[in-house]
Amino acid sequence: MTEASGAPAQVEPFDVVDLIHTKRDRGELSAAEVDWLIDAYTRGFVGDEQMAAMIMAIFLNGMTRAEIKQLTLAMIASGERMNFDGLGKPTTDKHSTGGVGDKITLPLMPLVATFGAAVPQLSGRGLGHTGGTLDKLESIPGWRADLTNEEMFAQLRDVGGVISAAGSGLAPADGKLYALRDITGTVESIPLIASSIMSKKIAEGTQALVLDVKFGSGAFLKNIEQSRELARTMVALGQDAGVATSALLTNMNVPLGLAIGNANEVRESVEVLAGGGPADVVELTVTLAREMLALAGKTDVDVEAALADGRAMDTWRRAISAQGGDPDAALPVAAETHTVYADRDGVLVQQDALPFGIAAWRLGAGRARKGDPVQHAAGVDLHAKPGDTVSKGQPLFTLSADEPARFPRALESVEGAWRIGDAGDEVHDGGPLIAERIAAS
């Protein structure tokens, strides 16, 4: 007879190997099985090697809508859920699947907040060629990303909008799963992408959500059909959770705007808030603002006027100051630059997004591993966009870095990514900036 010591071991209701077999053989997990799986993985009972087998089975065989919904709810339940009901005004948010030169959150948040909606924008840092909103804003002297829940609430009440880092308490299961997907070749799984994004956004507590789902060269998913499937899946998850949700499919075949990096993207965002800026950045900012405000119940608004008359700029300055930043401070400037010039007269007919994103990353604007530092002054500034007429000797783009040794590899990454043709040649830009709107059924 053996003597028991301490508390009795928890009796687990399921065996993870049985669940792996179910998904391996294209079966469907029950709600109880999904809940247990995520809880057991979060507390360490299910090991990384077992969850790696599970997510590979999901990657290969997919999940039903019911499974994806339950996976999302289970990840939300793994942590805290924020609530902004006490603000006394509607909350609305935007999520982008990421791209090259995608700085839209920066002018969008103050623009929407100007009309009396609260915008709790929890953002992240970049990895690889996709830039991070927090990296961009941290190029502003003094600005801080990490806020307490109380500080967020106060800023939403007083300013109307906040851009900050998501706390570790929101959907911690997603953090574990995301890290595992990154090293197991299972990132591009629509059920896993959708549940990852929506678990954080629903836990964030927003009442309305607009999804900017990219497709094309510089996007997470290159194919518009895949992006459409992801958008529909996420809109359905929002609908099931009681969050008013819609999505726009937007073109990421060419870089968005003229600036790719951190500090230079802040400069471009301020230009938009001052009533200028590149036409594509303005178009997407205005369209997303209208969509966010409509879901928040505010339809009779003139968002272009708020850019033109300085109201959105005033909100931006207040938001930056509230987080310790100096909106008047000079932004970092790189020590070295290298400009590429047109070698002939003609029309710029090609400018692929992904290679230019990789160039900015190699210049120091991005990071290869989570936690790596970024160089806020590094990046690429474009002087022409597809369809523009150019002359021999005209600047096409400028690379910026603190170390000139970074230029050769950055130039190597954009070799063949741009081309000058003749008048009348087809322009390879992937079509309209906004391809489709997807609403809840």
Which residues are tagged catalytic? 95, 174, 181, 196, 200
- Asked if 191 and 233 count as a contact pair (C-beta separation under 8 A), the reply is yes
Among residues 414, 401, 415, which one has the least CA distance to residue 364? 401
Q: Which residues contact 141 (CB under 8 A, 6 or more apart)?
A: 325, 326, 329
- Asked if 206 and 81 count as a contact pair (C-beta separation under 8 A), the reply is no
- Asked if 22 and 29 count as a contact pair (C-beta separation under 8 A), the reply is yes
Among residues 291, 286, 256, 254, which one has the least CA distance to residue 273? 286
Q: How many CB atoms lie within 10 A of CB 100?
A: 30
Q: Which residues contact 317 (CB under 8 A, 6 or more apart)?
A: 327
H/E segment holding residue 245? strand 244-251
Q: How many CB atoms lie within 10 A of CB 322?
A: 17
Pairing between strand 336-341 and 389-390? unpaired
Joined tokens for residue 382 = 């474009």
